[in-house]
Chains A and B, each alone.
Chain A
Amino acid sequence: MKPRTLFDKIWDSHVVTSRPGHPDVLYIDKHFIHEVTSPQAFAGLRRRGLPVFRTNRTVATADHNVPTKDQHLPIKDALSRMQVETLTKNCADFGIELYGLGHPYQGIVHVIGPELGITQPGMTIVCGDSHTSTHGAFGTIAFGIGTSEVEQVLATQCILQYKPKRMKIEVNGTLGKGVTSKDIILYIISKISAGGATGYFVEYAGSAIRSLSMEARMTICNMSIEMGARGGLIAPDQTTFEYLKGRPFAPQGEAWEKALAYWQTLYTDEEAEFDRVLTFDAADIEPMITYGTNPGMGIKITDRIPTANELADTSELPSFRKSLEYMGLREGAPIKGQPVDYVFIGSCTNSRIEDLRQVAAFVKGKKKAPHVEVWVIPGSQQVRKQAQAEGLDRIFAEAGFEMRGAGCSACLGMNEDKIPPGKYCISTSNRNFEGRQGPGARTFLASPLSAAAAAITGSVTDVREML
């Protein structure tokens, strides 16, 4: 048999039918839904008089629109409340499992799927959210879809897709002190641009990727979409299996052994071909930060902001200038030392227990800078509970960091948590778009460690100087 990539193996085993002149009909193993991108899909089902085809393959949670304070009280914003209530009603009417506000499993959809063991190697997973690529860390084909497609999956458990091209991104070598998986992905995106992987599905490989924990792998796969990729995956290995074992929805006993035998076949064959291969050296990666208004505008924290003359493509000049004007930054200026007003540690990129442990270990015994407001938003109720059990909440409180309830929070300027106009926020989230964290908000994307360092000093800091 022709050598195949991991991506091909999973894709091929999920094609229901492939007709000439038509996209492939791809079977979807797991479908996650949330309150923002599902209501119109359920309305479509009602209009057509259709049931949900396979109710056991869809799981729902409320995350984008939920407040992170006083979660036991009714949501204050009427529209947000109605959207969350609509999800509850839709799930009840159509027979879908909902981990809503107040449920011990509630949290960011891309945090709860993996932590509950719902996400498993070899699956196809979709969700009406572009960061669905996160689940690729388990060796899945996982990608974001629009609401029309959410309706299609609810109605038929399938989606129409043209097979994307395959890209391999290899990162080899050992990461330096203070350099995390967030820095790896910000580095890759800065090299290939915010649109550089459009049309591709990426496999991350190489010794530096292999050495990462599941949480760290999720951070990388999460941001695949930020370079335009349809998704990104990592072949499952012992790290993956150990993470999954014993989780609430992971297979058990005989079923575990059977699943494990299948999962162990999920790797790219040696001679398999990719349409594009990129290789990076982990030793060249340093703590990264973005200075502009797309995730491709990233630099090493020790670097200067580029000048117009240094741009590779002159057609980008107007967008580059618009970006710096929005950010209130000067071309050629250093980014280190730039004051920040807010620190946001959270989002589907970096809100897992490992992220919180890393931040807590670093800030223990330190105090935040007086002018900075620091929010730590656990990705799920389970992460929050675990952080409390380990006493991380006390470390945060002593440092002046505010830990709240689970949700998407200040990542997207939709719920109550917003960064005020003109203020600078160093954020562990995934997007630095204009107004992403609130109208006029200015975002620096960075790792949890770099964000924690900035919280202590009050400005953009090279965390390595504090380790």
Chain B
Amino acid sequence: MQKFTTLISTAVPLAVENIDTDQIIPARFLKATTREGFGENLFRDWRYNPDGSPKPDFVLNNPQYKGEILVTGKNFGCGSSREHAAWAIADYGFRVVVSSFFADIFKNNALNNGILPVVVSDAFLKKLFAAIESHPQTQIEVNLEQQTITLLEDGSQESFDINPYKKTCLINGYDDIDYLLSLKAEIEAFENGRLTGQV
């Protein structure tokens, strides 16, 4: 997994709430058997007309907004468990998604793919949207070590939570599977010790 420590970047504002994973990557694009190439169809039906031409009103098609940070409304990533949503976001080039809250499965999927989901207060989220929309070049700093997100133009800052295990994984680029594989002996001992009536 790609490591994450600190990122300074401009951001893309997508002020919509309850963005579900069907919007992030519609099911008809889930037919690949590899993890690559999903960025092309990120937000497909909001980004393109049925004939494939870009929709000029959609934020990813607005040349003013660029960057590795996606700022979105609350309950981002709800719905389907498809990890393809996280792959699409990463493949497009985002490293951080900021929202006032994330759906659980998406959050796990993001963390398992080196994407940092940053949860901020409603007030700070509003401030971010206002700052980015009035000044698309505005720089935002996300510091994982310090667990802070800072709007560099005025220094306003908020701390964010992340569980210590996932923080260590991101900083060092560790995958969960490495940790689980290191516990093989304990898992086997658990199996041997089970006395319940289950199959």
The residue on B at minimum CB distance from A320 is B17
- Bound form: Cα–Cα A337–B101 in Å: 37
* Chain A residue nearest to B109 in the complex (CB): A146
- Total A residues in contact with B, Cβ cutoff 8 Å: 81
Q: How far is the CB of A29 from chain B (nearest CB, A)?
A: 6
Assess whether A39 is interfacial by the CB under 8 Å rule: yes
**A177 CB to closest chain B CB, in angstroms?**
33
The residues in B between 108 and 143 inclusive whose CB is less than 8 angstroms from any CB of A are: 108-109, 112-113, 122
B34 & A434 in contact (Cβ 8 Å cutoff):
no
Once bound together, how far apart are the Cα atoms of A250 and B61, in whole Å? 54
A contact residues around B177 at 8 Å (CB): 44, 48, 148, 151-152, 155-156
Q: Mark A341-377, 1 if CB is under 8 A from B, else 0.
A: 0000000000000000000000000000000000000
Q: Does A120 contact B (CB under 8 A)?
A: yes
Q: Mark B27-38, 1 if CB is under 8 A from A, else 0.
A: 110111111000
**Shortest Cβ gap from A364 to chain B (Å):** 34
Q: Quick check: is A389 within 8 A (CB to CB) of the other chain?
A: no
Closest B residue, CB atoms, query A157 = B187
B152 at the interface (CB under 8 A from A): no
Could you tell me the distance in whole angstroms from the C-beta of A129 to the nearest C-beta in chain B? 6
Residue-by-residue, is A3-39 near B (CB-CB < 8 Å gives 1, otherwise 0)?
A: 0000000000100110001110101010000001101
Nearest CB in chain A to that of B36: its residue? A40
Say whether B45 faces chain A, with CB atoms less than 8 Å apart. yes
CB of A105 within 8 A of chain B? no
CA separation between A318 and B175, bound complex, in Å?
A: 38
Q: Report the bound CA distance from A440 to B46 in whole Å.
A: 11
Known: A158-B187, A414-B30. A144 touches B196 (CB 8 A): no
Which one, A25, A128, A322, A433, contacts B180 given CB within 8 A?
A25
Quick check: A21 and B165 within 8 Å, CB to CB?
yes
Q: Nearest chain-B residue to A430 (Cβ)?
A: B79
Determine whether the beta carbon of B35 is less than 8 Å from that of A40: yes
- Tell me the residues in window 19-69 of chain B with beta carbons closer than 8 Å to chain A beta carbons: 20, 22-23, 26-28, 30-35, 45, 50
Give the size category of B's interface with A.
35 or more
Which residues of chain B have C-beta atoms less than 8 A from A82's C-beta? 31, 33
The answer to whether the Cβ of B83 comes within 8 Å of any Cβ in the partner chain is: yes
For A157, the chain B residues whose CB sits under 8 A away are 187, 191
Give the CA-CA distance A261 to B176 in the complex, in Å.
36
Asked if B197 and A258 sit within 8 Å, CB to CB, the answer is yes
Q: Which residues of A contact B35 (CB under 8 A)?
A: 40
Instruction: Flag if A17 contacts B183 (CB, 8 Å).
Output: yes
* Beta-carbon contact of A129 and B81 below 8 Å: yes
**Docked-complex contact B30 and A195, CB < 8 angstroms:** no
Complex Cα gap A439–B112 (Å): 29
8 Å CB interface, A134-154 against B: 144-149, 151-152
**Interface contact A294-B45, CB-CB below 8 Å:** no
In the complex, per-residue mask of B81-102: 1 if CB is within 8 Å of any chain A CB, else 0 = 1111010000000000000010
Any chain B CB within 8 A of the CB of A457?
A: no
- From A80, A148, A164, A414, give the contact of B112 (CB < 8 A): A148
Chain B residues whose C-beta falls within 8 Å of the C-beta of A86 in the assembled complex = 33
CB nearest neighbor in B for A81: B31
Return the chain A residue nearest B169 by Cβ. A160
Say whether B75 contacts A194, CB under 8 Å.
yes
> 9 additional contacts, CB 8 Å, given A48-B177, A431-B22?
A23-B163, A43-B33, A122-B196, A156-B187, A198-B103, A258-B197, A319-B16, A413-B26, A431-B79
Instruction: Please list the 3 inter-chain residue pairs (A to B) with the smallest Cβ-Cβ separation, ordered nearest first.
Output: A146-B83, A79-B31, A39-B33
Interface residues of A (CB under 8 A from B): 13, 16-17, 21-23, 25, 27, 29, 36-37, 39-40, 43-44, 48, 50, 53, 64-65, 77, 79-80, 82-83, 86, 120, 122-123, 128-130, 132, 144-149, 151-152, 155-158, 160, 162, 164, 194-195, 198-199, 225, 228, 230, 249, 251, 255, 258-259, 261-263, 294, 296, 315-316, 318-319, 322, 412-414, 421, 431, 433-436, 439-440
